Amino acid sequence: MIEFILAKYNYWIYITLMMIGFYAMIAKPNLIKKIIGMNIFQTAVFLFYISIAKVKGGTAPIEWEKAVQYDNPLPHVLILTAIVVSVSTTAVALALIIKIYKAYGTIEEDKILEMNK
Amino acid sequence: MSISQHFPVFVILLPLISAVLIPILSRAKKIYGWYISSAATFFSFMISVSLLRTVLDKGEISYWLGNWEPPWGIEYVVDYLSGFVLVVISFIIFVITLYSRNSVDKEIPEDKVVPFYSIYMLFVAGLLGMIVTGDIFNLYVFIEISSLAGYALIAVGRKRDALIASYNYLILGTIAATFILLGIGYLYMMTGTLNMADLRERLPALYNTTVIRTAFAFFSVGLSLKIALFPLHIWLPNAYTHAPSVIAALQAATATKVGVYAMIRIMFTVFKPHFILEVVPVARLFLVLSAVAIIAGSLLAFGQKDIRRVLAYSSIGQIGYIVMGIALANRLSIIGSLIHILNHALMKGGLFLVVGAVVYKTGITDIDGFKGLGKKMPFSMAAFTICALSMVGIPLTAGFVSKWYLALGALQAGKWIMVPVILISSLLTAIYFWRIIDNIYFEGHEVEGKIDDAPPGMLVPTFALAFCCILFGIVASIPVNITGLAAEMLVGG
Amino acid sequence: MKNNIIIQIITRLLFPFIQLFGFYVIMHGESGPGGGFQGGVILGASVILYVIVFGIDEGRKLISEKTNDILNCTGVLIYGGVGLLCIIAGGKYLEYNILPLGSVHFASHMGMLGIEIGVGVTVSAVMITLFFETARQGK
């Protein structure tokens, strides 16, 4: 049981972070806090990918004469792409929030829903 | 070594390059944006038809990007399924792009027209890329490209409600895409490959592990959110109601369909049908959800005042039909599903284009605003009536063919309870469309009979779609043959 | 921040070094950490620093709106252009080994470098555009 928790600590960390981000996305009424939650949520998934790339006894996947074994470089490359996607999503979301602020005067979700009624 | 062997890449490359050419070339004249997008979508449509003909002659096409052999490299695969969906989607996109010139003049502010066309082309490139790719991470990248462009396009709507609708869609869509990314990570962790054909080889030995089941769960939830399967449909009514008319038509006709295509790929090409039918019987869950979606979509469309909301809830119901065909997982029901992808794109596209013409002329989208339009805009209303009849499923229209095959598939799988569900929802569809048609033709007699219809630039594409509704209702053999081959490849093998 | 002379002088001193580092990161993308996106962000960050310290109008003199719009698109065209060049040279899309540049190794390196430069140009231009558009809302 202890071995189950301690040996797989990377999965526990990523799940905790993911749930924190997910909760922030759903529960916080401020629109910017939702975006921060979204970033935490996506960063947790990136951590998961990188953590499964580690090979026992491997060094970073950069060419080095003294290296015996390299880590798996493919998840690193996938996460580079996913980080770009995450940055783009944050950029679009922030642009939307600026326009919402100009149109409604507030970025609290409950006040906006009231104004829309 | 001709140029046609590179067509799988060109079908994506043309919209992508035109997306970046439009801002540069439109500095000269604003209208170049529309010319370039129409040309790019036209050539994409021609390339898709050529690809489908090659596939029907010679079999599956496989294109290795960078000449790296899969599974180390990315592979673009055009087989019966992707060829069919490619032709359908690129045709609808071409027709809607032709229509967009007049509609954009009225609805999009002047200084936003050039970025609008540029992002529009990015959206198209993302959709076409989703269909052609054979690599599962490439699928995620294209899903995100089209989703991000979609959020930006919806936000250009006239009222400020469009911004909130787009923001909600963004939050939910990002959750869905991140779930899909997680599913890909789990699959990669267990098999070490990202190629769909290679995953198909390696997964059956691992079907009973928790990791693969979790991966499938994440895929299902993520893709269900993207296609707005009940109960994950909350974003759809607001997004379709407040978007500009062109974008509502485009999203309704194409974006959800390509999401369904991605779901078919995951469930039948990456995971064999054996998985969803026997190992983890999710097929039953999807069947129940789709039945609820069909009934709920038709019921919720009843009390709505805004016609675009009626069409949005009706779309939720129609997605239920397509998922029902997938969940039954036999040859006839998949033929029904794939033909319904074609038909619903034609019908819903046509309906939204007519609504766009009404907005262009009168600016109102209330059902009451349709009173007397039968005299003022006879051609648009004729197209509306044809598409509405096709949605109900009258014989001789396209809608009847897909419902017939879905009913046959339900009977073959032994789930005869689905047949009354289809019939009841057709009845409900008839009722809520009758309200609108009643307003069009049988009310508003005080309106003078001056014909003031939409400009031909909007009428011709609308009539093209309405004509195809009737064409594929009478000459249904062409889609049925192609989808028959696709269905055999998916479940027969 | 126009009044604070120390920040102005340090920014003027650092600006070329940040850009040089950005180019270094782009060029060494294939054999070390770095690549198009990372280097592009550093390049964009240098201009953003300049605009923060000296103001939007000075920043617009550095890179005009027309140049910005064109640079946004040029990177993607370079990327597509490298791929099409490989098709013209007889291979598949983005098949660098085919390019007639001497050895296969060298051609492969040049292809990847071309792509990274394209990505770097677009990413830096987009970062600058994002910053200018967001900063302009305050006016």
Q: How confident is the model over A21-40, as pLDDT tens digits? A: 999 999 999 999 999 999 99
| Partners of residue C66 in chain B, C-beta under 8 Å | 27
State the nearest Cα–Cα gap between A33 and chain C, in angstroms.
18
Judge: C134–A94 Cβ closer than 8 Å, yes or no: yes
| Partners of residue A94 in chain C, C-beta under 8 Å | 134
> Where residue A45 sits, what CATH number does that domain have?
1.10.287.3510
Structural domain total, chain B? 1
How far, in Å, CA of B202 to CA of B98, rounded? 45
Kindly state whether residue B355 falls inside one of the protein's structural domains.
yes
The CA R_g of chain C, rounded to the nearest whole Å, is 18
Q: Is the dihedral of CA B240, B242, B243, B246 positive or negative?
A: positive
Cβ pair B153, B119 in contact under 8 A: yes
- Closest residue, chain C, to B9 (C-alpha): C93
| Mean pLDDT along residues B396-422 | 89
Query: Which candidate from B21, B27, B66 shows the least CB-CB separation from C92?
Result: B66
Tell me the residues of chain C between 22 and 51 that have a Cβ less than 8 Å away from chain A. 31-33, 35, 37
Left (φ > 0), alpha (ψ -120 to 50) or beta: where does B249 sit? alpha
- Specify the pLDDT at position B444: 66
User: How many Å separate Cα B97 from the centre of its chain?
Assistant: 15
How far, in Å, CA of B394 to CA of B383, rounded? 15
pLDDT bin (cut points 50, 70, 90) of residue B449 is: low
Query: Which candidate from C31, C32, C137 shows the least CB-CB separation from A98?
Result: C137
Going by their DSSP bridges, the two strands B61-64 and B75-78 should be labelled as antiparallel
- Specify the pLDDT at position C19: 94
Provide φ and ψ at B207, rounded to 5°.
-60, -25
Query: Which candidate from C31, C133, C134 shows the least CB-CB separation from A63?
Result: C31
Q: Mean pLDDT across chain A, nearest whole number?
A: 90
Interchain contact B188–C (C-beta under 8 A): no
| Extended strands (E) in C1-139 | none
Kindly state whether residue B354 falls inside one of the protein's structural domains.
yes
At residue B446, does pLDDT exceed 70?
A: no
State the nearest Cα–Cα gap between A17 and chain C, in angstroms.
25
State what percent of residues in chain B have pLDDT above 70. Answer: 98
Judge: B178–A34 Cβ closer than 8 Å, yes or no: no
Interchain contact B63–C (C-beta under 8 A): yes
Kindly state whether residue B488 falls inside one of the protein's structural domains.
yes
* Chains with ≥3 CB–CB distances under 8 Å to C: A, B
Structural domain total, chain A? 1
Return the closest-CA partner of residue C68 out of B25, B23, B109, A87. Answer: B23
Per-residue buried b or exposed e for B259-285, using 16+ beta carbons within 10 Å of the residue's own CB: bbbbbbbbbbbbbbbebbbebbebbee
Cβ pair B432, B310 in contact under 8 A: yes
Kindly state whether residue B387 falls inside one of the protein's structural domains.
yes
Return the closest-CA partner of residue B227 out of B281, B297, B277. Answer: B297
Q: Mean pLDDT across chain B, nearest whole number?
A: 89
- Closest residue, chain B, to C88 (C-alpha): B3
Higher pLDDT, C94 or B449: C94
Interface test mutation site (partner C, options A65, A71, A98, A101, max chain C beta carbons within 10 A): A98
Report residue B88 as tokens: 């359908």
At residue B185, does pLDDT exceed 90?
A: yes
Query: Which candidate from C72, C92, C96 shows the least CB-CB separation from B64?
Result: C92
Query: Which candidate from B160, B164, B171 shows the least CB-CB separation from A38?
Result: B171
Structural domain total, chain C? 1
Instruction: Give pLDDT tens digits for B308-347.
Output: 999 999 999 999 999 999 998 888 999 999 999 999 999 9
**Which residues does B489 contact at the CB level (< 8 Å), separation at least 6?**
B79, B80, B81
Interchain contact C130–A (C-beta under 8 A): yes
Residue length of chain A? 117
Cβ pair A31, A51 in contact under 8 A: no
Judge: C94–B21 Cβ closer than 8 Å, yes or no: no
Output the pTM of the full model: 0.94
- Specify the pLDDT at position A3: 82
Judge: C137–A62 Cβ closer than 8 Å, yes or no: no
pLDDT bin (cut points 50, 70, 90) of residue C65 is: confident
The CA R_g of chain A, rounded to the nearest whole Å, is 20
At residue B237, does pLDDT exceed 70?
A: yes
Report residue B76 as tokens: 């673009």
Task: Report which residue type is found at C13.
Answer: L
Cα angle, residue C71 at apex, residues B93 and B123 outer, rounded to 5° = 15
pLDDT bin (cut points 50, 70, 90) of residue B379 is: confident
pLDDT bin (cut points 50, 70, 90) of residue C1 is: low
Beta bridge partners of B289: none
Kindly state whether residue B249 falls inside one of the protein's structural domains.
no
Q: Residue B64: enclosing H or E segment and its boundaries?
A: strand B61-64
Judge: C93–B23 Cβ closer than 8 Å, yes or no: no
* Chains with ≥3 CB–CB distances under 8 Å to A: B, C
- Specify the pLDDT at position A47: 93
Return the closest-CA partner of residue B140 out of C136, C41, C27, A81. Answer: A81
State the nearest Cα–Cα gap between B12 and chain C, in angstroms.
11
The owner of tokens 């469930």 is: B267
SS3 at position B310: helix
**Which residues does B436 contact at the CB level (< 8 Å), separation at least 6?**
B307, B310, B367, B370, B384, B388
- Closest residue, chain A, to B193 (C-alpha): A74
| Partners of residue B16 in chain C, C-beta under 8 Å | 76, 80
Q: What is the largest CA-CA distance in chain B?
A: 72
* Chains with ≥3 CB–CB distances under 8 Å to B: A, C
At residue B173, does pLDDT exceed 60?
A: yes
| Mean pLDDT along residues B5-20 | 91
Report residue C64 as tokens: 């005009």
User: How many Å separate Cα B163 from the centre of its chain?
Assistant: 23
- Closest residue, chain A, to B136 (C-alpha): A78
Provide φ and ψ at B280, rounded to 5°.
-125, 100
How far, in Å, CA of B424 to CA of B431, rounded? 11
Range of the domain at C94: 5-136
- Specify the pLDDT at position B177: 95
The owner of tokens 């974008």 is: B247
Q: Mean pLDDT across chain C, nearest whole number?
A: 88
pLDDT bin (cut points 50, 70, 90) of residue B26 is: confident
> Considering only CB atoms, which residues of chain C are within 8 Å of chain B?
66, 69-70, 72-73, 76-77, 80, 83, 87, 90-98
How far, in Å, CA of A11 to CA of A13, rounded? 5
| Partners of residue C92 in chain B, C-beta under 8 Å | 6, 9, 63-67
Query: Which candidate from C33, C133, C137 shows the least CB-CB separation from A62?
Result: C33
Number of residue pairs across A and C with CB atoms under 8 Å? 15
- Closest residue, chain C, to A94 (C-alpha): C134
How far, in Å, CA of B474 to CA of B478, rounded? 10
Report residue B23 as tokens: 């801002």
At residue B493, does pLDDT exceed 60?
A: no
Report residue B27 as tokens: 């500095």
Cβ pair B255, B127 in contact under 8 A: yes
Judge: C137–A91 Cβ closer than 8 Å, yes or no: no
Kindly state whether residue B439 falls inside one of the protein's structural domains.
yes
Range of the domain at B399: 299-493
- For residue B231, is the peptide bond before it cis, meaning its omega torsion is within 30 degrees of 0? yes
At residue B1, does pLDDT exceed 60?
A: no
Interchain contact B73–C (C-beta under 8 A): no
- Specify the pLDDT at position A85: 94
- Closest residue, chain B, to C70 (C-alpha): B24
Kindly state whether residue B2 falls inside one of the protein's structural domains.
no
Render B221-284 in DSSP notation, one character per residue: HHHHHHHT-TTS-THHHHHHHHS-HHHHHHIIIIIHHHHHHHHHIIIIIIS-HHIIIIIS-HHH
Beta bridge partners of B195: B135
Interchain contact B114–C (C-beta under 8 A): no
State the nearest Cα–Cα gap between C20 and chain B, in angstroms.
27
Provide φ and ψ at A101, rounded to 5°.
-65, -40
At residue C124, does pLDDT exceed 90?
A: yes
Judge: B175–A88 Cβ closer than 8 Å, yes or no: no
Per-residue buried b or exposed e for B216-226, using 16+ beta carbons within 10 Å of the residue's own CB: bbbbbbbbbbb
Q: Which of A68-77, B152-161, C130-139 has the lowest mean pLDDT?
A: C130-139
pLDDT bin (cut points 50, 70, 90) of residue B59 is: confident
How far, in Å, CA of B150 to CA of B445, rounded? 41
| Partners of residue A102 in chain C, C-beta under 8 Å | 137
Number of residue pairs across A and B with CB atoms under 8 Å? 64
Residue length of chain C? 139
At residue B447, does pLDDT exceed 70?
A: no
Interface test mutation site (partner A, options C116, C137, C139, max chain A beta carbons within 10 A): C137
Instruction: Give pLDDT tens digits for A80-110.
Output: 999 999 999 999 999 999 999 998 888 888 8
Range of the domain at A104: 2-116
Instruction: Give pLDDT tens digits for B425-442.
Output: 999 999 988 888 888 887
